[in-house]
Structures are given as C-alpha cells and as structure tokens.
C-alpha cells in the first residue's frame, strides 16, 4: 500500500512445519494473528499431544508468539510486538463420537473447527463424496454446542449441501477459512456463488486461499490474477467480509500432504500426493504484505485492501471471540 503496511495483518489458515524461523518470519512480515491448524485425522488423545507441543512452542518462543483465546489476546500480542496464534482443527475427528469433547477442546485452546474434511464425517459431508447428505443428527448438536461455546465453525472442505445447511442452522456467523471462487478454478473444493451469497447474508467471512491447487492458474497464478480473483469474491462478499486464509504449508514434507489426503482410512497410496510449488509472490509470511500490490492493482481502495489483509478478520474475531474475564497474559487462567 502506498501509505505503508496496514496496521492489522491476519492469515486465517496455515499449517506449517512450525519452527522459530517461521515465527520470526511472522514477526518480520508484520502478522498480527495466524489461525494455525492443530490436526487432521487425529483422535482426541493425539490432538491433546499436539496441543502439548504447542504449549512448548509458546513457552520457547514467548518473545514472538502467544496463544490467543479471545480478542483481548490479539490486542496483547499487538501491544507486545508478537503474533497471536489461534488454534483450530480441519476435521472433527478429535471429538470422536462424544459431543462433550467439543468443550474440552475449547477449554484447551481450540477456537476453530471444520465440520468435515474431504470425506463424510459424523457431522456432515466433505466435498469429495459423490453424494452430499447434508448435516447429520450429530452435526446439528455440534453446531449448537459450538455456537454455545463460541467456537468458530469452518466450512472449508465441506460439500455444498452440508455448507448451506450449516449456514442456515448456525446462530452465529461462520467462515470458509481457505477457499476461492469456484467459477475461477473448476474444483468443488472451491466455493460457489450460491454459497458465498448465503455466507454473506449471515455475516460470514471468506478467507482467500493461496494454495496453488485453489488458484485460477495454479502455481503460475500471478499477483495481478490473485487481485482479480479477490475482486470477483468482493463483488459478492464485500471487502468487509473478505480476508486471507493462505493455507500456507511452509517446510512441510510430502508425507504430510499424503497424511492430509489418505489419513488412516485407506490403504491406497496416491503417487501424486505432493505439495505443488507456491506462486513466486507468496512463499512465506515475509511475503504477506506484498498481497496489497495485487489488491490495489485490481482496483481495491486502500481502506478495502486493509480490510482484506486483516481488518475483516479482526472485526470478525472481535465479534466472535470477545474479550472475556478469567484470562490474563499469555492465555493463562487468572484474574485481570
């Protein structure tokens, strides 16, 4: 932006091979907050192990990052020149078949959960199934419980019917944290105009994905093409309901993408399961501020650009995760 880096930069989805070097790049790139994926096909106990690992990361890198449980933690991160990390799940597998585990995971710091990944779950249907039967009986219960707690419902990877039913059922706005307009990249993993219209009508938010398989021209997509794609989405969502969910998987080995796609539910090995090259203009958090160039070139005003790069997410998170009494400092329980 011509007036400098916007005050708030938020990435609505990353799953990197976490390291101090990556957290340093978050700070150098000016990231205010990042929604970090904790797991995919893991059960409850394995997920808790990942959360233990995250607590170690917070302790070992407390000068760079902090656990964000609510909007107040995001403000504390800004005030102390750190990046707030919001933890989320890309699959409801960790709740197993026990509705009570949603609250347990919320208490442990989980603030986002997808109702499905690619396959049918106990809550709804993923986009790769041939038939989308919609939200299940347990799914309705889970939506109500997430609404009660304030856990954000994420419809990335959901089938169309499941997503539309969830938007209608939820008493709180929901997100599609990382996806793009389907009419610009012919993949059901992306989202239709009908879904975006329903999401916008219920005050939801779309995070634009920078993962090559979701972009109009794959790894060869230019920054200008990204900007045009964002403008198409903004035509429906408006800049105030549009953000970034980069789906950055920096430094992850190809075995991780195989885990994402294959989990433990199949013995079939996908020989082509590997990470595609990132576009040259977005390879790490250092590149996040560059996205403003693509947005401005597509006709976004500076105020609109600031919304897409973090302002819209910030507004959504403040409404969804309001500062609450009972937490102090780096997400530790205590009186303020």
**What is the set of domains in the chain, with CATH numbers?**
10-325 (3.20.20.140)
pLDDT score recorded for residue 5: 45
Q: What is the pTM of this model?
A: 0.93
The H or E element containing residue 12 is strand 10-14
Whole-number pLDDT of residue 272: 67
Given a cut of 60, whether residue 73 has pLDDT beyond it is: yes
For residue range 26-56, what is the model confidence (pLDDT) as tens digits?
A: 999 999 999 999 999 999 999 999 999 999 9
Which tens digit of pLDDT belongs to each residue from 164-217? 999 999 999 999 999 999 999 878 899 999 999 999 999 999 999 999 999 999
Reply yes or no on whether the pLDDT at 326 is more than 60. no
Residue 2 pLDDT > 50, yes or no? no
- Asked if the model's pLDDT at residue 80 lies above 60, the reply is yes
C-alpha pair distances (Å), 218 with each of 163, 210, 251, 256, 281: 25, 9, 19, 20, 13
Position 64 scores a pLDDT of 98
User: Read out DSSP for 79-128?
Assistant: HTT-EEEEEEESSSGGGTT-THHHHHHHHTTEEEEES-SSS--SS--BTT
pLDDT tops 70 at residue 332: no
Which pLDDT score, from 0 to 100, does residue 271 have? 60
pLDDT surpasses 70 at 328: no
pLDDT digits (tens, 9 = 90+) for 85-126: 999 999 999 999 999 999 999 999 999 999 999 999 999 999
């Amino acid at each position: 932006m011509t007036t400098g880096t916007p005050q708030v930069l938020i990435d609505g989805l990353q799953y990197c091979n976490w390291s101090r070097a990556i957290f340093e790049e978050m700070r150098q790139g000016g990231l205010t907050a990042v929604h970090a994926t904790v797991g995919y096909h893991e059960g409850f106990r394995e997920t808790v192990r990942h959360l233990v690992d995250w607590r170690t990361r917070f302790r070992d890198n407390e000068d760079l990052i902090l656990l964000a449980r609510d909007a107040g933690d995001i403000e504390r991160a800004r005030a102390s020149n750190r990046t707030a990390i919001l933890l989320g799940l890309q699959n409801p597998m960790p709740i197993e078949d026990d509705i009570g585990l949603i609250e347990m995971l919320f208490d442990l710091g989980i603030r986002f959960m997808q109702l499905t990944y690619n396959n049918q779950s106990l809550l709804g249907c993923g986009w790769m199934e041939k038939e989308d039967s919609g939200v299940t009986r347990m799914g309705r219960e889970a939506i109500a419980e997430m609404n009660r707690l304030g856990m954000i419902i994420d419809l990335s990877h959901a089938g169309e019917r499941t997503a539309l039913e969830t938007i209608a059922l939820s008493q709180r706005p929901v997100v599609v944290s990382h996806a793009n307009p389907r009419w610009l990249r012919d993949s059901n993993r992306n989202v239709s105009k009908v879904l975006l219209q329903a999401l916008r009508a219920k005050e939801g938010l779309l995070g634009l994905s920078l993962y090559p398989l979701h972009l109009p021209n794959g790894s060869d997509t230019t920054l200008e093409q990204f900007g045009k794609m964002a403008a198409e989405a903004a035509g429906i969502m408006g800049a105030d309901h549009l953000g970034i969910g980069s789906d950055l998987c920096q430094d992850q080995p190809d075995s991780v993408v195989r885990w994402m796609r294959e989990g433990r539910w199949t013995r079939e090995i996908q020989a082509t399961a590997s990470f595609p090259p990132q576009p040259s203009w977005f390879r790490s958090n250092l590149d996040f501020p560059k996205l403003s160039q693509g947005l401005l070139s597509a006709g976004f005003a500076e105020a609109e650009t600031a919304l897409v790069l973090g302002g819209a997410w910030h507004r959504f998170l403040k409404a969804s995760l309001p500062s609450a009494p009972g937490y102090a400092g780096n997400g530790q329980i205590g009186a303020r």
